[in-house]
Amino acid sequence: MVNLYWSIYRNLENEVLTLAQLIHFDDKQLSVYSVRIADLLIRCSVEIEAISKELYELNGGDMEPVDKEGNKRDLYFDTDCLDFLENLWRFSGRQVIVSATDSFFTKDENKILTPLKKANKRGTSGSDWKWAYQAVKHNRTRDLAKANVKHLIRALAALYLLNIYYKSDEPILLNKTNKLHDTNRGSNVFSLQTAVCLPKFPAKKHKLDLSELAATYIIKPTDKSCADFYKEATTAFQKQAEMLIQAGYEMEKNEDGEDMDIEYSELYKIALDIGGAELVNRFSDIERSKNKALEMRIFEAVLNKNPILTFSDNDLEEN
């Protein structure tokens, strides 16, 4: 797929960096406005409209919407496209960090942005940059003051984030490190949040918390690494359960009189109760192969597109 958006974004970014050499980008200068900023704000927002609609179409959005009466209507980039993508990916919480060397913001609210928050809403209840764009587009003379540094940076951040989601969806292989060093992903103005998510045996899913939802890239073990770990952990668990039974542990029964599974979290407590330190030490010996698989994990960074991260069930079960 040919990417026509990234080069345009980089041109806009370079023009904003040139502007930063003329206007000192700090907390006190956010309200500075000009015709030049208005031009950049409008161009950024037009690009946001275009890339939002293409992302919407690429991900199965209805390109021929109808009104309540069933009549065809225009497709809206915000209440249709961005709303669809928000429901799909929950990306309104993704944070973009202003990291340009020519920016001198000290307040977190000006350095750490959530540019797509409420971008799927209309009017003043929507995002501030989108409200400013609509105002300047429809009445530039009256609303020129809304074309300021604050709204321009937030619009550019929104366009940057959408470009990241538009670019290749291939995982970034990190090998044995769980750190993504290139968090700028080609930008000279912004960088992205990352979060490390690890599977916990015996679970195969990880529900992202609020801090992890802020991350654009999730760093996780590859499916193969997860499969190797799961195989070793399952084998170790089965051996330990058998040792408990051999040591005299009586399995609890369910209502049908069938043996209930031993909870993994209870293994060591049960071992200590019925076998003391000797049995616990034997358990620890069995853990070594599992820990080796843990140490050999290969990591990858993947785009955060879901509040629940699944560690490929098929790969885990097949290995």
The CA distance from 292 to 308, in Å, is 27
Query: Structural domain boundaries of the chain?
Result: 6-166, 224-295
Asked whether residue 65 carries a pLDDT value surpassing 80, the answer given is yes
- Cis link prior to 202 (omega < 30° from 0)? yes
The CA distance from 127 to 132, in Å, is 9
Asked whether residue 231 carries a pLDDT value surpassing 90, the answer given is no
Asked whether residue 48 carries a pLDDT value surpassing 80, the answer given is yes
Q: For the residues 23-44, what does the mean pLDDT come to?
A: 98
Q: For the residues 72-84, what does the mean pLDDT come to?
A: 97
Over the stretch 270-293, which tens digit does the pLDDT of each residue have? 888 888 888 888 887 877 777 777
Band of residue 312 on the pLDDT scale cut at 50, 70, 90: low
Asked whether residue 314 carries a pLDDT value surpassing 50, the answer given is no
Asked whether residue 116 carries a pLDDT value surpassing 70, the answer given is yes
Asked whether residue 89 carries a pLDDT value surpassing 50, the answer given is yes
Q: Which pLDDT belongs to residue 120? A: 96
